[in-house]
Amino acid sequence: TMDHLANTEINSQRIAAVENCFGASGQPLALPGRVLLGEGILTKECRKKPKPRIFFLFNDILVYGSIIINKRKYNSQHIIPLEDVTLETLPDTLQMKNRWMIKTSKKSFVVSAASLTERKEWISHLEECIKHLLSKTGRQPCREPAAPWIPDKATDICMRCTHTKFSTLTRRHHCRKCGFVVCADCSRQRFLMPRLSPKPLRVCNLCYRQLLAEKKKEAEADRRQTEPIPSAMQGYEPSSGDDSDKSDDEKAEQWPADTEFYTSQVSWSSFHS
């Protein structure tokens, strides 16, 4: 489907409609050769609770956002380059079925589809696009995906010291390296991880010690190479497409109580051909 849709009128109209729904808060999405392959609502496991998100699959990027009015208004647009994506199918939990993880070097998160068939469709279309892209660019798939954040509700106590209980006064924090839910005492340190952010990020004490040890090892290895070799990392700027720590997950959202996200009559996940 990919190539014969490129540069067609119907494809341009579809992309314009998506841009329109995101309004001024979104980035322009039309590019020569870019094709919109499908769209649908998936449930994203967020920090506080699972939330419906609109997802658009293009031949080179995956775009998702928050739903203000379905099919009319979306915001909090995120753009993920597909060549940075790897997928992992996950088992069902009591709350969520048909789950899988979207892993990238900057952020990894879990989504679930309304049915098994729909999960299969999404995964096969995503994998086909990724394979197509990697073969075109000659790149390697992402080797070191970011750890997904464990949802707040998964634990009432700090996952590192295992004795601090969370409460309204004792806040939960997340280690940016392992994704564990930790207390303030267990995550006092910050560490610079250029793949994730240009600023030092909160890490738990265990990850901090591991990261320091790795850094020391690297420094010693560098010292042993007597020839000074200019580093390719100088001037390395992480992509500006980085999500800030205060992602849209943390903004309170009021959903009308009677909003139905899954209605059986509507096949709302559609792939274009």
Domain ranges for the chain, please list them.
2-137, 149-222
Residues 166-177: b if buried by 16+ CB within 10 A, e if exposed: beeeeebbbbbb
pLDDT of residue 269: 61
pLDDT of residue 23: 94
* Per-residue confidence (pLDDT) for residue 227, from 0 to 100: 56
The span from the CA of 224 to the CA of 91, in Å, is 46
Can you spell out the DSSP letters for 161-209? TS-PBP-SSS--EE-TTT--EE-SGGG-EEE--TTT-SS-EEE-HHHHH
pLDDT of residue 250: 41
Class at the top of the CATH hierarchy for domain 2-137: mainly beta
Q: Do domains 2-137 and 149-222 have the same CATH topology?
A: no
Q: Which of 194, 196, 164, 162 is nearest to 178 (CA)?
A: 196
What pLDDT is stored for residue 228 in this prediction?
A: 53
Residue 272 backbone dihedrals phi, psi, to 5 degrees: -85, 150
- Looking at CATH, the fold of the domain delimited by 149-222 is given as Herpes Virus-1 (3.30.40)
pLDDT (tens place) for every residue of the chain, 273 residues total:
577 888 889 999 999 999 999 999 899 999 999 999 999 999 999 999 999 999 999 999 999 999 999 889 999 999 999 999 999 999 998 889 999 999 999 999 999 999 999 999 999 999 999 999 999 888 888 888 999 999 999 999 999 999 999 999 999 999 999 999 999 999 999 999 998 899 999 999 999 999 999 999 999 888 887 555 444 434 333 333 333 444 444 443 343 444 333 333 433 467 776
